[in-house]
Amino acid sequence: MPAARRAKKRDEPLPAAEIHSEGFRQTRQARRDALVEDYVELIADLIEDGNEARQVDIAARLGVSQPTVAKMLARLTAEGLVSRRPYRGVFLTEAGRKVAYECRERHQTVESFLRWLGVSPETARIDAEGLEHHVSTETLDAFRKVMQSGS
């Protein structure tokens, strides 16, 4: 049996509790926001592709059941991000369009940066889907800056 690996020692001392907790708080908030953002971004994509986002299409593309989608659509409606019409699809409100635009912009920046690093297009697309929800504006700006400079 191989010897247990020792954890690598920290390069820097542990930050103060209030600073340390902020990173965890932001990660928890990003996890809560990620699902909402995924739905809103997908609804925007479906609308652009065919002028209507239907519950069945959302379920198929996210790989979830229609009741799961119905529950999330109720939440998105309550949060003022979508509107629904009987026997019609789901539509984004102005607030929903703003969220979708911001998500798409973050996703495209992260995906472009990963491809710039040499990551394959498919892997960059998949990885960007998770990273886009956790990356700060400062980091996105740094990604854009380094890609523009070519360094």
Q: Fold for 26-149, please state it.
A: Arc Repressor Mutant, subunit A (1.10.10)
pLDDT greater than 90 at residue 23? no
* Residue-wise pLDDT tens digits, 47-102: 998 868 999 999 999 999 999 999 999 999 999 999 988 888 899 999 999 999 99
C-alpha span between 120 and 118 (Å, rounded): 6
Rg (CA), the chain: 19
Beta bridge partners of 84: 90
Q: Which helix (H) or strand (E) holds 84?
A: strand 82-84
C-alpha span between 38 and 129 (Å, rounded): 8
Give residue 133's pLDDT: 85
> Largest Cα–Cα distance of the chain, in whole Å?
63
Average pLDDT along the chain: 87
Residue with tokens 């939440």: 75
Give the confidence band of 109 by pLDDT, cuts at 50, 70, 90: very high
Beta bridge partners of 83: 91
C-alpha span between 33 and 38 (Å, rounded): 9
Single pTM value for the model:
0.75
The answer to whether the Cα torsion of 90, 91, 92, 94 is positive or negative is negative
C-beta of residue 52 within 8 angstroms of C-beta of residue 85: no
C-alpha span between 18 and 48 (Å, rounded): 43
**Residue from 126, 137, 130 nearest 102 by CA:** 137
% of the chain beyond a pLDDT of 70: 88
Give residue 18's pLDDT: 77
Question: Does residue 130 or residue 7 have the better pLDDT?
Answer: 130
